[in-house]
Structure 1
Amino acid sequence: MAAVNEPAASKEIPTGGAFLFQEVGTSRFVTPETFTEEQRLFFRTALQFSREQVLPQAVRIEHKDNVLLRELLRHAGELGLLSVDIPEAYGGTGLDKTTSLLLAEAMSLNGSWSVTFGAHTGIGSLPIVWFGNAAQKAKYLPKLGTGEWVAAYALTEQGSGSDALGAKTKAVRSPDGKHWILNGSKLYITNAAFADVFIVFAKVDGDKFTGFIVEKDTPGLTVGPEEHKMGIRGSSTCPLYFEDARVPAENLLGEVGKGHKIAFNILNYGRLKLGAGVLGGMKLQLGNALRFVQERKQFGTPIVRFPLSREKLARMAALIYALESMTYRTTGLVDARLAARDKSAPGYEGHLLAAVEEYAIESSIMKVYGSEALGQVVDDAVQLHGGAGYIEEYPVERAYRDARINRIFEGTNEINRMLITGMLIKRAVKGDLPLFAMAGNVAEELSRGEKPRARTDDALAPQEVAAEVAKRLALHGLRVAAETFGPELEQHQEVLASLSDVVMDAFALDSLVTRTRQAASGGTLDPVRLALVRLFALDSIPRAYDRTRRALCATLQGDALDKELKRLATQDIFTPYNPAELRETVMAAIESAGGYPFTE
């Protein structure tokens, strides 16, 4: 199913990347405070499942108990947790994407289980949901939705990871036309040891990248031994080998030569879901670290009383608040574009794909920011545990190892940094985003030494200005780089990566300020939320300047560089806050809640 162009009526909904060109608070967006009761119910059900059925089994899961993983998938299916993205016509509930992401968050308390669940409900099942024909959907989706069958996704090969289209596995039509004959191999396939259905990509006649649905008992298919991994050890990861594997002709997925549409659309959605898929683990580690430092004493004092311990806990909460704000803002935009669509109408999947693709920039942000925020949180959690953080008895040891894979999943963070800025420029060239026009205005303002001003005169005004400055830095850096390097810009990865970081901080600050204002009660800003935004800004504002300077230094030389650095200096802003006071405001809420203060 191909994505379709959305009608002009969608224009009142911000387009992908529009946050960079619109003032903070231009439009309201979905936040955890605005979730519906149905969304909250699904989240609570999934969270209870994770706490009661998954976490107590962590040791068995870690030791690769595949029988247990299948049982857990069946139990999740009985609760309706596997079928949220499956249409009602095929036994699912066909709910909104915000609910889907809420389930991803709830299921992320254990890394191995999160990967098992995500591979089945996401990359394993969605290719059939989105690209399967009616017969394929009727055959596979009801069983995948209940957990009777388990799905897996086979894309990666020895020489093709981020370069997915470099796959070597081949498919040819059998002489009688009844089968596709596959030869080749796949690596790092999640759920492989116990999957019933594989989504496999191969090149028809050696050059037409194509998707296939391959069942586990296919003649010529062999599942290799389990890989022994640094993290997510409990998830099944095996290679697949195809030796004249005979796949029925009717198991062709989509069209010959159009497999890239399947792969790339699945990756877009997977990147968006990863933002939510690390939130649950981040919140769990904050709560666990808090309890540990409350009980552990040094020099006769609970560790939680030491300022540097409290600083780490407050920083963890700020990262969670930022990622949560960006993630549900984005999925809310996807849902808004689909709100008027009839889910049962022909072509609905095309509109869904178009909505997901529209926010591919934000999805890559979620992937990079989420995976790196999780890495920071688990690192701080290990540090707070001290030596105990290295002992298997403590869950943080496993969480630290499990977290590392997220910077590789769904396209490496390096690839996604290139995509963020690359997609912005490509959309600008097509005329979909006013990047060059806006950047020209910014250049003039920089020459005059003008700084943006806040639209709202409240306690968040300095952070609103900071968000607008970050946007200006990103726009100006992209314009200078594009004018300097022209078509060769994509070869200058250090420039694009640095500016991607500025774009991400701009999106985070914009989301934080807007969400906090939306959550204000009677016009009064919540002091804890205000402190979280300010704490985040204390780190992100200097980082945005640093990354912009790096990009300019990698782009220009001599007098041209000096000129741009002087113009950049006109935007330097600093609002003094006592970090200890901000920290204590946040810590009071964390200690009162026993963890992240805004959890359902």
Structure 2
Amino acid sequence: MPKSVWGGGRFVVDDAEAQQIATPEDFTEEQLMLADTVRAFVERDIRPRDGEIEKLDYGLTVQFMRKAGEIGLLGADIPEAYGGLGLDKTSSTLLAETLSPASSFALSVGAHTGIGTLPIVFFGTPEQKSRWLPRLATGELIAAYCLTEPGSGSDALGAKTTARLSDDGESYILNGSKLYITNAGFADLFIVYAKVDGTYFSAFVVERDTPGFTFGPEERKMGIKGSSTRPLFFEETRIPADHLLGEVGKGHLIAFNILNIGRFKLAAGCLGGMKEAIRLSSSFANGRVQFGKAISSFPLIAAKLAKMNVLAYVTESMVYRTAGLIDESLGQADLDGPDGGIQAAKAIAEYALECSINKVFASEAMDAVVDEGVQIHGGSGYIQEYKIERLYRDSRINRIFEGTNEINRLLIPSTLLKRALKGELPLIERAQALQRELLHPTPLAARTDSESLLAKPAEILGALKKVFLMVGGLAVQKHGLRLEREQEIVASLADAMIDMYALESALLRTRKREMQGTEAVRLQHVADMTALFAEEAAERAGQRSRAILAALEKGENLRLQLSVLKRLLRFEPADASALRKRISSRVISAESYVGL
């Protein structure tokens, strides 16, 4: 991706160029070969024994984890100097997406390679990296991430687990418990957060066989049944002082920035799950005959397949755009320097807002996709013999993992506002300029058909940005810094930002393909998906903004603001039915996701 001066949240106030973003069409031959290797591993090794993994066979999962280590899958994010592949985030994201059809096993790998290993990659000392990373890369050691407690989930800093330095300064002594820890049944290394002296939130590496470190029973879960989830207990658990990760009192830098990467990687996993659901559902719809015809020929079934494909295309566009941004940000940091951990934290935090957006959109898109998949399967979708049933159950956790979607929605606008108040982006200036423009409106130019397939989606995107600045500006004016207490308004503003980032990502990707001379049939397909999502986003913007304005204004002021809103969103509706028919025909013909 060409070097840019882009930054987190910038999409709200500025328009990116198509050449600035990374897309799946930019994958190199090497990246595609890596994905093929993972795909072959899933088909050859995992799928035939998927049922055994789903019965929580620890030994089999560990066996396959080590096989994954042999092909480099566990070392994608580990530097070459420590036995890994040292891949960029775009490549490791592609691997996470490709592994997703492995279901529970994919979760075990993701917890190990992401939130389990990355704290050491980014924040470990050279000695800690040398001690643990080579064995994490091969699967000799398996990692787990331990943040949640019985009394603290989204409120991570409310943790009660404590650590105190021993009198001789040689050890830290941990007391407390952790809850819902993925990989706990077979992990060897645990990233544990505790408060030193009950005050200073810090991170530690705890080895499994440490005296005083014990485990509770496996949780009985709704889905992801082949993954291990157990509580942990620490009772006077003594660990060497050099197992402190980072600095005392700086654990939040590790926890929150690793969660940012976790949120983003979760979106990639959801993308892979969506593609699997589309493959299963389109194939089933072509094979299921009712009233003498394949049900894929029925418009209501076809419309579902179109919806599923559009959500996957938009998610894919967002995920790889964000991967490119994070790669660029990390590429400008000196990760091997003495303050490498701090630089890594800053580089990741730059796109914390976008990571939350990816997480919320992708997890809810996947829920919608698998729900429609079950409906397409009819009664068969409720039967465990059909994988769509498991995808439906497994999907639900994604809206809870890595910070609930409610918490992420609150984070998105608050992070944007904080960046603006620090002078990192001209949000307030753009909102004020828009207010002046709206006070002295010029006649709107007549909207005419353009030769470009993307003219109207681009116009809708511009309107969405103006509506957000108008409504968000009013909300800040009325509530100031107390706006965070108005959670329904904040969540609605987050939804506006999510739609903007999603539409812009799809639009820029499609425009880039147009500039690259993509053949007409393929270009029409991706333009249709972009146009359909734009139409739906404009409709959502109107409904959402009217509700926010009603909470902010009354009487004549409300009527005035509603008239401005109507003016900004004055679009003739497209023939959405025709768009869905064209999109679904391609999915039905391919019996798979159609995006590239």
TM-score by length of 1: 0.95
Please say if 1:555 is aligned against 2:547: no
1:194 aligns with one of 183, 186, 189: 186
Please say if 1:403 is aligned against 2:400: no
Output aligned runs, 1:113-512, within 5 Å: 113-339=105-331, 347-447=339-439, 448=441, 458-512=452-506
8 A Cα contact 1:157 1:186, kept in partner: yes
8 A Cα contact 2:172 2:239, kept in partner: yes
Distance of 2:138 and 2:221 partners within structure 1: 29
Residues 199-244 of structure 1, C-alpha deviations (whole Å, 9 max, x = no match): 0011111111111100000000001110000011110000001111
8 A Cα contact 1:13 1:333, kept in partner: no
Distance of aligned partners of 1:185 and 1:37 in 2 relative to their CA distance in 1, 3 Å threshold: same
Distance of 1:95 and 1:343 partners within structure 2: 14
Distance of 1:426 and 1:337 partners within structure 2: 19
Distance of 2:475 and 2:449 partners within structure 1: 30
Distance of 2:405 and 2:124 partners within structure 1: 30
Distance of 1:597 and 1:591 partners within structure 2: 10
Deviation at 1:354, TM superposition (A): 2.5
**What is the identity, as a one-letter code, of the residue corresponding to 2:270?**
V
8 A Cα contact 1:111 1:403, kept in partner: no
Distance of 1:566 and 1:77 partners within structure 2: 60
8 A Cα contact 2:456 2:531, kept in partner: no
Please say if 1:574 is aligned against 2:571: yes
8 A Cα contact 2:492 2:544, kept in partner: yes
8 A Cα contact 1:463 1:534, kept in partner: yes
Distance of 1:534 and 1:181 partners within structure 2: 58
Distance of aligned partners of 1:313 and 1:183 in 2 relative to their CA distance in 1, 3 Å threshold: same
The aligned counterpart of 1:3 is none
Output aligned runs, 1:518-557, within 5 Å: 518-520=512-514, 521-522=516-517, 526-557=523-554
Q: How many residues align?
A: 590
Distance of 1:573 and 1:26 partners within structure 2: 26
**What is the identity, as a one-letter code, of the residue corresponding to 1:321?**
Y
Distance of 2:399 and 2:265 partners within structure 1: 14
Secondary structure in structure 1 of the residue aligned to 2:149? coil
Distance of aligned partners of 1:123 and 1:560 in 2 relative to their CA distance in 1, 3 Å threshold: same
**What is the identity, as a one-letter code, of the residue corresponding to 1:497?**
A
Distance of aligned partners of 1:243 and 1:523 in 2 relative to their CA distance in 1, 3 Å threshold: closer
8 A Cα contact 1:195 1:216, kept in partner: yes
Distance of 1:77 and 1:339 partners within structure 2: 25
**What is the identity, as a one-letter code, of the residue corresponding to 1:579?**
A
The aligned counterpart of 1:52 is 44
Distance of 1:524 and 1:95 partners within structure 2: 31
Secondary structure in structure 2 of the residue aligned to 1:193? coil
Deviation at 1:343, TM superposition (A): 6.3
Distance of aligned partners of 1:586 and 1:409 in 2 relative to their CA distance in 1, 3 Å threshold: same
**What is the identity, as a one-letter code, of the residue corresponding to 2:240?**
P
Distance of 1:523 and 1:36 partners within structure 2: 17
**What is the identity, as a one-letter code, of the residue corresponding to 2:485?**
Q
Distance of aligned partners of 1:431 and 1:456 in 2 relative to their CA distance in 1, 3 Å threshold: farther
2:72 aligns with one of 72, 80, 85: 80
Deviation at 1:560, TM superposition (A): 2.5
8 A Cα contact 2:535 2:573, kept in partner: no
Distance of aligned partners of 1:488 and 1:595 in 2 relative to their CA distance in 1, 3 Å threshold: same
Deviation at 1:454, TM superposition (A): 11
8 A Cα contact 2:171 2:238, kept in partner: yes
**What is the identity, as a one-letter code, of the residue corresponding to 2:69?**
G
Residues 507-532 of structure 1, C-alpha deviations (whole Å, 9 max, x = no match): 11111111111112537761111111
Distance of 1:507 and 1:143 partners within structure 2: 39
Deviation at 1:177, TM superposition (A): 2.0
Distance of 1:70 and 1:551 partners within structure 2: 50
The aligned counterpart of 1:7 is none
Deviation at 1:450, TM superposition (A): 5.9
8 A Cα contact 1:494 1:554, kept in partner: no
The aligned counterpart of 1:68 is 60
Distance of aligned partners of 1:346 and 1:47 in 2 relative to their CA distance in 1, 3 Å threshold: farther
Distance of aligned partners of 1:424 and 1:449 in 2 relative to their CA distance in 1, 3 Å threshold: farther
Deviation at 1:104, TM superposition (A): 1.1
Distance of 1:458 and 1:24 partners within structure 2: 18
Distance of 1:134 and 1:373 partners within structure 2: 40
Deviation at 1:277, TM superposition (A): 1.4
Secondary structure in structure 2 of the residue aligned to 1:570? helix
Distance of 1:334 and 1:311 partners within structure 2: 35
8 A Cα contact 2:100 2:272, kept in partner: yes
Distance of 1:576 and 1:144 partners within structure 2: 54
Secondary structure in structure 1 of the residue aligned to 2:258? helix
Please say if 1:102 is aligned against 2:94: yes
Q: Report the RMSD for the aligned CA atoms in angstroms.
A: 2.0
Distance of 1:346 and 1:42 partners within structure 2: 32
Deviation at 1:344, TM superposition (A): 5.4
The share of aligned pairs that are identical, in percent, is: 50
The aligned counterpart of 2:83 is 91
Deviation at 1:340, TM superposition (A): 5.8
Deviation at 1:134, TM superposition (A): 1.2
Which consecutive residues of structure 1, in runs of 5 or more, have no partner in the other structure?
1-9
Distance of aligned partners of 1:410 and 1:84 in 2 relative to their CA distance in 1, 3 Å threshold: same
